[in-house]
Amino acid sequence: MNMPFGIRGPLRLALAVAAASGAAGGFDPLHAQREPTLAELAAQAAEQLRAQLPQRVDEVTTLTNLTAEGTRFIYEMAISAPIPRDRLEAARSAIQAQNQTGLCANAESGAFIRRGGSMRHIYTEAGGARFETLVAACP
């Protein structure tokens, strides 16, 4: 499952600024402006991206809402296909592994997570069952 980093415009910019501000080692007191915090960048990106929703992620998944709580992005995802109750944990585990790998491999999301951010995905399948994944650390 491809995750919603396909809607990258404002988020890519916010994450790039966050990564650069974390790596910028110098401080110029004559031109000192407070750099936005990671939480502020996340809130700004989430607000801008919400205007593009809902957005299809793949053939069965739609991103329906995106919020930021501090440095955590919270994605609400609707799955149009039902998942049998006895397969929910297997589906959650597979999606968790895919999210972990994909988000950490992506330059922007990986940098965001390595700086202390996280990405929580809340999935609701067609029958109403819900499960979550969380990516809060990258190697």
Task: Please check whether residue 32 lies inside any domain of the structure.
Answer: no
Query: What is the distance between the alpha carbons of residues 115 and 17, in angstroms, rounded to a whole number?
Result: 12
Asked if residue 28 belongs to a domain, the reply is no
Q: How high is the pLDDT of residue 34?
A: 80
Report d(CA 131, CA 139) in Å as an integer.
24
- 3-state SS class at 108: helix
> Kind of pairing, strands 72-79 and 55-56?
unpaired
Q: How many domains does the chain have?
A: 1
Q: Tell me, what's the pLDDT at 7? A: 44
Q: pLDDT tens track of the chain, all 139 residues?
A: 444 444 444 455 455 544 444 444 455 556 667 888 999 999 999 999 999 999 999 999 999 999 999 999 999 999 999 999 999 999 999 999 999 999 999 999 999 999 999 999 999 999 999 999 999 999 8
User: Who's near 75: CB < 8 A, 6+ residues apart?
Assistant: 3, 4, 63, 65, 66, 119, 120, 121, 122
Q: Can you give the pLDDT at residue 71?
A: 95
- Given this model, what pLDDT does residue 24 score? 44
Domain that holds residue 16: 4-21+37-135
The per-residue pLDDT for 12 is 54
Cβ distance 108 to 8 under 8 Å?
yes
Query: ∠ CA 99-97-67 to the nearest 5 degrees?
Result: 30
pTM value? 0.78
Q: Give 132: exposed, middle or buried? Use CB within 10 Å, 0-12, 13-18, 19+.
A: middle
In a domain, 26, yes or no: no
80 belongs to a structural domain = yes
Calculate the CA dihedral of residues 93, 95, 100, 103 and round it to 10 degrees: -170
Q: Can you give the CATH number for the domain in which 80 is found? A: 3.30.300.250
With 0-12 / 13-18 / 19 or more C-beta atoms within 10 angstroms meaning exposed / middle / buried, residue 73 is buried
